[in-house]
Structure 1
Amino acid sequence: MKFLLKLIAISTLAIALKANTDSANYKSKLILHEILYDFNIKNTKENMDILSSIQDSIKDRDLRDFKTIIQNSPENVSIVQNELANIEAPYFLLYLAMVESKFLNRATSNMRAGGMWQFMPSTARAFGLRVNKDVDERRDPFASTDTAFEYLDFLNAQFNKWYVSLMAYNCGDGCMRKVIRHGDSDDFSTILLSSKTPKETKNFIKRIIKYSIISKREDSKQLLSSLESRYKLEKVMVKPGTKLYSVSNSINLDLKIMQQYNLHIKNGEAPRGSEGYYFYIPEDKLELYALNYIGKVIKDEKNSSKFQTYKVAKNDTLSSIANRLGTTIKELKAANNLKNSFIKVDQELKIPVASFEPQKYKVKKGDTLLALASKFNVDKKDIIKNNNIKNQILVAGDTIVIP
């Protein structure tokens, strides 16, 4: 009887183990099919064999690295996540930055590639980022992320397959065109097995796929979905030559932290000889910035022609005035030294002239949205919205409004 009970228990355990094994195998295969779909990889035995080998190569060390990299740079991970959601881009592009730099803005390669997205200076400039003696916008996580996705759009318009576009990001579009011509195919396995594909590029795409597979684990999903930035940053416009320390002093922020938020600033000050530039400050310091820094600047320029006067009418609010005149509540408060949102009928408010007179610009050959946004110190999304631009494409000769 005891033997029979033991036999039944062993049989039950074996069935349960087989069921668990079958379930695990099913989940693994399901993940690989998701990878095929995400990366535009054709479902063939050869391609599945390569993906299976990548999946089987995942070690505990890889799982720890994935978690550590995410936890060490929650701010930049959040920036990329938000931008991916805004432009409805594939989520696996997050792991491009993970492979390139571990999400570090300070990252610099031996080949002079820099920033979270590891742009070469020439590529960065070609897509509108400033890289000069004063600033290096490759180290601005917001601007460089916008540019990375703009560059990836450019590559994907050529190759129309994400795995090819990602490999071109690593070795160049010319390199991938040669590989495809040599093998007379853009198939995943053909490219991976080609002697013309650089070894670094093969490892590059495999690492991105490896992190994408890891990201589909439940613990990874929980980590990414629960991720919150340690701080939220706000872009503020400053005059040419403005020192980082003068702004940090005005908002009671340690200079080292201010510098950390503004790694794109090389010499501790906004570029001189320009119309103005931007710094990043914590969102919760905006009120102090408006009162202590902008308020002082406004006081020094009280009689400046940069402001026009507006008389408050019945039922006016700061919000309605800001919307009507194309400015913001923050700018109105700063320009008028307002400590709250209370205004009175017939009260005179100073309004920046720029709010009354949107600037017009004639598009030149080679202009990009990001380059114009940087040049005029505005948000790229505002240019798109104000001009109803489709597909983020500018046409030389068109006149657009700079908000």
Structure 2
Amino acid sequence: MNKINHGILIITLLMCSINLKAQTNINQPNASVITEDSLLDSVKTTLADPFPDDNLDNILSDKLDSMVNTWYVQNAYAVDSLEKACSYVEQNELPDSVYISRLQNLDSYIPLPFNESVKKFINFYLNKRRGQVSIMMGLTNYYFPLFEEALAKYNLPAELKYLPIIESALNPRIVSRAGASGLWQFMYGTAKMYGLEINSYIDERNDPIKSTDAAARYLRDLYAIYGDWHIVIAAYNCGPGNVNKAVRRSGGKQNYWEIYSKLPKETRGYIPIFIAATYVMNHSKEHNLIPIQPSFKLLTDTIIVNSYVNFEQIAANLDIPVQEIRQLNPQYKRDIIPAKSDKSYVLKLPLDKISPFIDNQTQIFAYNRDKYFPNNQIALIKEVVGKSNYNTEGKKKIVYTVQRGDSPGKIAGKFRISTSNLVAWNNIRHNMIRTGQKLTIYVNGNTPETLARAETAKVKPEVSKVQTRSQIIPSQLQTISAEKALNGEYTLYTVRSGDSLYTIAKQFAGVSDIEIKLLNNIKNARNIVPGQKLKIPVKA
């Protein structure tokens, strides 16, 4: 079946690109042969004619936020490490010649030219999200060996292992607004073409091993069509159809930088981000960016399961949190492994839990069997949807109204909660939410940031009888929120190097970063600079 699907994909892609090939292959140099002179010429060209710089910071930030809010990161990293992840750290910019030289010295099979867009995203990783990148680098010891093995298996450039850095920030359960899922952000149709199983209980797009193998095969097939790695990476992001349209609209040109302006907005920044991520992963030490290592490592092994089993059965008998089992087995959507005697599945566990599982296997499968699998059947979906292991006792309950552009992952990041809990509390299916929808959220009442966000979310602007809500402009909404949140008195604070609104707010009792942002009319919290004067509200 996989071979049939594979053949369908190749035929489809070839049909999409046959006209493209006919127009562009005549007198084209071999794209896989990269000389030092041609690379230097490419660098000079891109520096002489920098391309439009689309703002993709928010997309990257959402992915990094989702990574920081996974169970493993929240439990394997010290609190001070997580706080540093929210801080902005100003680094001195280097001359362009230094970046160019370092990129050339990487001896990459994929060309790594430098331009202003690449520089912008290097700055994003090294400055704006420095702490989160340090945490993500700590996760590479677990994921990179998986990527490297698959890429080597299909004889692909090792640099492609950096794609999941920008696709998912190494969060195996992340779901994009468009519905792409997993480390490699597979769309449903592409995943099915490459043999990944997706049903009510399993989504192998979230399986690190199987999705990595599928991604490597997909990249191999794209290169067989285009023969140029920049175009391949762009096609991986937006699909071959969009790339072919961009080529046609550009008069048949088949160089990424020449079709740049005709590509979808997110894809226009994709190669610059890829180059920036490759640079940062290889030259972090030169920028004093050190991986933050987790307090406990994911040393794991797998075991074959041949019968239905619920994660809670495993957790209760092996003394392991359900959340940890979920982290290790993100492909199982409802905490159930739907294995049968004629269809087995893999369970991944910490290395020290493999032997206890084998020794107590009969006891584990029998534990509360009638509760989880009455009549030895999987319980109805409605019985397992909406379950959350998060203890809401003592937590502050708020109601959040979904805004345009929101996603479950983005909302979870705002309130520092897990996406799975948000989905469970509100019975969200397939990650689908709508603008205006009311969501229930529980936040830790001892966290100033989450409390401030809770209060802000609850503020209802006062609308006059003459002026309707739809007529109020965003600046008026901010003013109304600020008037409700503050008492009017303030003191001045001078921003220092390494400060963020969050760390500043922690220095003043009862003050939140949201209040500082509103009082100072700050649109982007990451744009404060050393020496800037900020008004800090004085609490009664």
Same fold (TM over 0.5): yes
How has the CA–CA distance of structure 1 residues 225 and 186 changed in structure 2, closer, same or farther, with 3 Å as cutoff? farther
State the one-letter code of the partner of 1:205: I
How many aligned positions are there?
266
Alpha-carbon distance, 1:37 to partner = 4.8
State the one-letter code of the partner of 1:282: P
Equivalent in the alignment of 2:267: 201
Equivalent in the alignment of 1:139: 206
Alignment of 1:252-401 (within 5 A): 252-271=319-338, 274-293=342-361
How has the CA–CA distance of structure 1 residues 248 and 73 changed in structure 2, closer, same or farther, with 3 Å as cutoff? farther
Check whether the contact 1:250–1:293 (CA below 8 A) recurs between aligned residues: no
State the one-letter code of the partner of 2:184: W
Check whether the contact 1:80–1:145 (CA below 8 A) recurs between aligned residues: no
Moved more, 250-259 or 135-144: 250-259
RMSD of the TM alignment (CA)?
A: 3.2
How has the CA–CA distance of structure 1 residues 115 and 221 changed in structure 2, closer, same or farther, with 3 Å as cutoff? farther
Alpha-carbon distance, 1:178 to partner = 2.7
Alignment of 1:154-173 (within 5 A): 154-173=221-240
Determine helix, strand or coil for the equivalent of 1:260: helix
**Structure 2 residue aligned with 1:188, among 233, 256, 261?**
256
State the one-letter code of the partner of 2:345: Y
Q: Aligned equivalents of 2:136 and 2:124: distance in 1?
A: 16
Alpha-carbon distance, 1:82 to partner = 3.9
Determine whether 1:71 maps to 2:135: yes
Alpha-carbon distance, 1:27 to partner = 3.7
State the one-letter code of the partner of 1:62: Y
How has the CA–CA distance of structure 1 residues 162 and 126 changed in structure 2, closer, same or farther, with 3 Å as cutoff? same
Alpha-carbon distance, 1:25 to partner = 6.0
Determine whether 1:211 maps to 2:277: yes
Determine whether 1:235 maps to 2:298: no
TM-score by length of 1: 0.58
How has the CA–CA distance of structure 1 residues 188 and 87 changed in structure 2, closer, same or farther, with 3 Å as cutoff? closer
Alpha-carbon distance, 1:136 to partner = 1.0
Determine whether 1:80 maps to 2:144: yes
Structure with higher Rg: it is 1
Check whether the contact 1:155–1:165 (CA below 8 A) recurs between aligned residues: yes
State the one-letter code of the partner of 1:276: S
Gaps of 5+ in 2: 1-93, 367-540
Alpha-carbon distance, 1:239 to partner = 1.7
Alpha-carbon distance, 1:38 to partner = 3.4
Alignment of 1:119-138 (within 5 A): 119-138=186-205
Alpha-carbon distance, 1:202 to partner = 0.6
Moved more, 115-124 or 223-232: 223-232
Alpha-carbon distance, 1:169 to partner = 0.7
Which one has more relative contact order, counting CA pairs under 8 Å at least 6 apart?
2
Q: Aligned equivalents of 1:238 and 1:107: distance in 2?
A: 26
What are the Cα deviations for residues 38-87 of structure 1, in whole angstroms up to 9, with x where unaligned? Answer: 3247xxxxxx5xx2323443565421425523514744663234431564
Q: Aligned equivalents of 2:290 and 2:223: distance in 1?
A: 26
Determine whether 1:39 maps to 2:39: no
Q: Aligned equivalents of 1:122 and 1:197: distance in 2?
A: 21
Alpha-carbon distance, 1:106 to partner = 2.1
Alpha-carbon distance, 1:104 to partner = 1.0
TM-score by length of 2: 0.44
Equivalent in the alignment of 1:18: none
Check whether the contact 1:70–1:77 (CA below 8 A) recurs between aligned residues: no
Determine helix, strand or coil for the equivalent of 1:114: coil
State the one-letter code of the partner of 2:305: V
Q: Aligned equivalents of 2:206 and 2:180: distance in 1?
A: 11
How has the CA–CA distance of structure 1 residues 297 and 188 changed in structure 2, closer, same or farther, with 3 Å as cutoff? closer
Q: Aligned equivalents of 2:302 and 2:286: distance in 1?
A: 31
What are the Cα deviations for residues 224-259 of structure 1, in whole angstroms up to 9, with x where unaligned? Answer: 899688212212111231222223333221222222
Check whether the contact 1:180–1:191 (CA below 8 A) recurs between aligned residues: yes
Determine helix, strand or coil for the equivalent of 2:185: coil
State the one-letter code of the partner of 1:83: F
How has the CA–CA distance of structure 1 residues 56 and 111 changed in structure 2, closer, same or farther, with 3 Å as cutoff? closer
How has the CA–CA distance of structure 1 residues 119 and 59 changed in structure 2, closer, same or farther, with 3 Å as cutoff? closer
Q: Aligned equivalents of 2:364 and 2:173: distance in 1?
A: 33
Determine helix, strand or coil for the equivalent of 1:33: helix
Q: Aligned equivalents of 1:221 and 1:133: distance in 2?
A: 45
Greater helix percent: which structure?
A: 1
**Structure 1 residue aligned with 2:120, among 57, 64, 67?**
57
What are the Cα deviations for residues 351-378 of structure 1, in whole angstroms up to 9, with x where unaligned? Answer: xxxxxxxxxxxxxxxxxxxxxxxxxxxx
**Structure 1 residue aligned with 2:100, among 26, 29, 37?**
29
Check whether the contact 2:203–2:333 (CA below 8 A) recurs between aligned residues: yes
What are the Cα deviations for residues 87-115 of structure 1, in whole angstroms up to 9, with x where unaligned? Answer: 43434323321211211122111211111
Equivalent in the alignment of 2:521: none
Check whether the contact 1:76–1:141 (CA below 8 A) recurs between aligned residues: no
Q: Aligned equivalents of 2:140 and 2:280: distance in 1?
A: 19
